[in-house]
Chains A and B, each alone.
Chain A
Amino acid sequence: MNFAGSQLEAVLADVRRGMIPAHVYGDPQIFALERDRLFARSWVFLAHESEIPDPGDYVVRRVLADSFIVARDESGAVRVMFNMCLHRGMQVCRAEMGNASHFRCPYHAWTYRNDGSLTGLPFHAEAYGGEDGFPREGQSLLPAPAMGIHNGLIFISLDPGAPPLPEYLGDFAFYLDFYTRQSPAGVELRGPQRWRVKANWKIGAENFAGDSYHTPHTHASVVDIGLFREPKASKRKEGALYVAGPGVGTTYKLPPGGDFASQLRYVGYPDAMIPAMAASWSAGQRALIADSGFMVSAATLFPNLSLVHNWPQIDERGTVAPFISLRQWQPVSERETEVLSWFAVDAAAPEAFKRDSYKAYLMCFGSSGMFEQDDVENWVSITEMAAGSMARRLRLNSRMGLTSAGQPIKPPLATFAGPGVAYQGFGEFNQRHWLRQWSDHLEDPR
């Protein structure tokens, strides 16, 4: 059965009015559309330049089932190549990381330079009659149809007609800098931790996008034990939610009366890092912290890259240490997701800070993180419930923050220093924005 036409139209119409048909979180037909209409077109994060600092360094990453080698070639350029041999289709590189000048296919030894060009073809004369039978010149592993790099973040799109990456990122680039450009040295990524969860990939993306409402209850335990710097998780409702281009995110309200430096100190940044942050960020970016009084927390860049910034207490003395994590929700099927979770830290930060920040990350997020543990339990449960017949009769109310007439309960913040639209308090503005982009992709048959 082809799931399209009026059936799909009805699902998307419900999603757009904030009433999500529950089966979209466990439906193989929806998943097929996501593969063909969303992941085949959208910009997708693969790796960060700091993971491949030297010529020959590579990592292997996927966009759903498609495996790519992300390599730094001998000239220092980043190359993204489809990891399938031109001859018989074997996966050319079966390691997930390393350093290599060449990749040799194990099957018949076709060999490619780390820029993807075909250089070795055994018995070329005997087997093909040389260049006449198989012109070797100009042959290379298929390059990613489109590639772009922003703050060292390497994205690809399977759509050669995708808009340029800067155009796609739009206003969200403003917020991305808080996570990935705290100094001119940029950020360095470690990891990723990888694990598979029996949950639909959309749930994590939506949760990080804007679900400040879950924090007081889902994460009550980390408040109970004093890991959280904020004494009450209900403080989350004072934060602002913003929608900016393809990205959406959450913030925390900072204590009143602080300035730029004192607010960064409040969340645990050492004095040694603050001048670089001031120099690295624009007046508008500084004003978001200093004047608007908000500090970025969780965010999602459509479709499946999320970011988080938090500041727990990491020892008996109450030392507060902030950390940054990037994570990707890599779909495996409609009911399984591989999570890739990186620890990120300013490359120029003092070693002591890097150590503390790493500890903060491990305690809070990632495969063992105490925040994340409870998140995943929820997402697995939603996915299980979404797979049955009754889920087709249930529309999940995602209209938080709106009146029955569809107007915001409270007007947008008038003094928010960042681009886009921001609301203070609880609301599902961000999830709806994420889902509108999802709907736009799914309904486009091209």
Chain B
Amino acid sequence: MTARPLPYGDPAHQAAHQFLVEEAALLDAADYSGWLDLLCEDIRYLMPVRVTTARGAGFDSLADMGHFDEDMYALRKRVQRLATDHAWTEDPPSRTRHFVTNVRTFRNEPGARAEFLVESAVLLFRSRGDTREADLVSAGRADLLRETGAGLRLARREITVDEAVLRTQNLAVFL
């Protein structure tokens, strides 16, 4: 990203940062239907597979393979599933904490829509059961936040996970 981020005192940056913190609170409270309300109907939610490549290779993620590549239908199905009585992998539920930091907000190219590009780092702590070792998932996120009549909404998220081999049993969680 070549543009300079908005100053931290900029109301747009503060609104974007607060959006991410409020979103994390919903996820950690497992309020997934509340989380869906923060998404635009045309959302694209992506998490490419990271790979270990030579420095000169020119790529370190797979262009055609993700852990997630979701539209609103797919995300709704995931949330509906977690709400059933049969989503065993999250029953008993994980205890999660989304730590969101390093937030930088950029004004999007001038256009018809009021949109902001927001970069952040997220560290997910996930604990299952009483005796298992907890999992950590570290990732960067590049979000597109859109100003709507009802406030900011997430229009696109690309999650850049920091491991080539995930150390968590599944992604029955959102980042």
B102 in contact (CB, < 8 A): no
Name the distance in Å between A323's Cβ and chain B's nearest Cβ: 13
B2 in contact (CB, < 8 A): no
| Chain B residues closer than 8 Å to A222, beta-carbon distance | 81
Q: Which one of A7-15, A39-47, A282-290, A362-370 contacts B?
A: A362-370
Q: Is A218 a contact of B169 with CB atoms below 8 Å?
A: no
Question: Which residues from 401 to 434 on chain A have a C-beta closer than 8 Å to any C-beta of chain B?
Answer: none
Q: Is B65 a contact of A194 with CB atoms below 8 Å?
A: no
Q: Is A193 a contact of B67 with CB atoms below 8 Å?
A: yes
**Binary interface encoding of chain B residues 42-53 relative to chain A, with 1 for a CB under 8 A from any of its CBs, else 0:** 000001010111
Q: Is B167 a contact of A195 with CB atoms below 8 Å?
A: yes
Name the distance in Å between A356's Cβ and chain B's nearest Cβ: 12
A97 in contact (CB, < 8 A): yes
Q: Is B77 a contact of A359 with CB atoms below 8 Å?
A: no
Nearest residue, chain A, Cβ from B63? A190
Name the distance in Å between B116's Cβ and chain A's nearest Cβ: 27
How many A-B pairs fall under 8 Å by CB?
Answer: 122
Q: How far is the CA of A378 from the CA of B74 in the complex (A)?
A: 24
**Binary interface encoding of chain B residues 134-175 relative to chain A, with 1 for a CB under 8 A from any of its CBs, else 0:** 000000000000000000000000000000111111111000
Q: Is A96 a contact of B73 with CB atoms below 8 Å?
A: no
B69 in contact (CB, < 8 A): yes
Q: Is B49 a contact of A193 with CB atoms below 8 Å?
A: yes
| Chain B residues closer than 8 Å to A225, beta-carbon distance | 77, 80-81, 84
Q: Is B169 a contact of A198 with CB atoms below 8 Å?
A: yes
**Binary interface encoding of chain B residues 66-79 relative to chain A, with 1 for a CB under 8 A from any of its CBs, else 0:** 11111101100110
Q: Is B52 a contact of A94 with CB atoms below 8 Å?
A: yes
| Chain A residues closer than 8 Å to B71, beta-carbon distance | 359
Question: Which residues from 81 to 119 on chain B have a C-beta closer than 8 Å to any C-beta of chain A?
Answer: 81, 84-89
Q: Is B171 a contact of A190 with CB atoms below 8 Å?
A: no
Name the distance in Å between B33's Cβ and chain A's nearest Cβ: 14
B10 in contact (CB, < 8 A): no
| Chain A residues closer than 8 Å to B69, beta-carbon distance | 358-359, 362
Q: Is A195 a contact of B166 with CB atoms below 8 Å?
A: yes
B54 in contact (CB, < 8 A): yes
A220 in contact (CB, < 8 A): yes
Q: How many residues of B are counted as interface, with CB atoms below 8 angstroms from the partner's CB atoms?
A: 39
Contact A221:B132 (CB < 8 A) given known A368-B170, A373-B170, A376-B170: no
Question: What interface size band does chain A fall in?
Answer: 35 or more
Contact A374:B87 (CB < 8 A) given known A96-B51, A198-B132, A363-B77: yes
Q: How far is the CA of A366 from the CA of B164 in the complex (A)?
A: 14
Q: Is A367 a contact of B67 with CB atoms below 8 Å?
A: yes
Indicate which residue in B62, B81, B88, B165 contacts A377 across the interface (CB closer than 8 Å): B88
A27 in contact (CB, < 8 A): no
Q: Is A368 a contact of B86 with CB atoms below 8 Å?
A: no
Indicate which residue in B51, B52, B171 contacts A368 across the interface (CB closer than 8 Å): B171
Supply 29 A–B pairs (Cβ within 8 Å), ascending by A: A100-B54, A190-B65, A192-B65, A194-B165, A195-B166, A195-B168, A195-B169, A195-B170, A199-B169, A218-B88, A221-B84, A224-B80, A224-B84, A225-B77, A225-B80, A227-B81, A315-B73, A316-B73, A343-B65, A358-B69, A367-B166, A367-B170, A368-B171, A370-B81, A372-B170, A373-B87, A373-B170, A377-B89, A377-B170
Q: A96-B51, A194-B166, A374-B87 are in contact. List 18 more A-B contacts (CB 8 A).
A: A95-B53, A95-B54, A95-B57, A98-B57, A190-B64, A191-B49, A194-B165, A196-B166, A197-B169, A199-B169, A221-B87, A314-B73, A314-B74, A368-B172, A369-B170, A370-B78, A374-B89, A377-B89
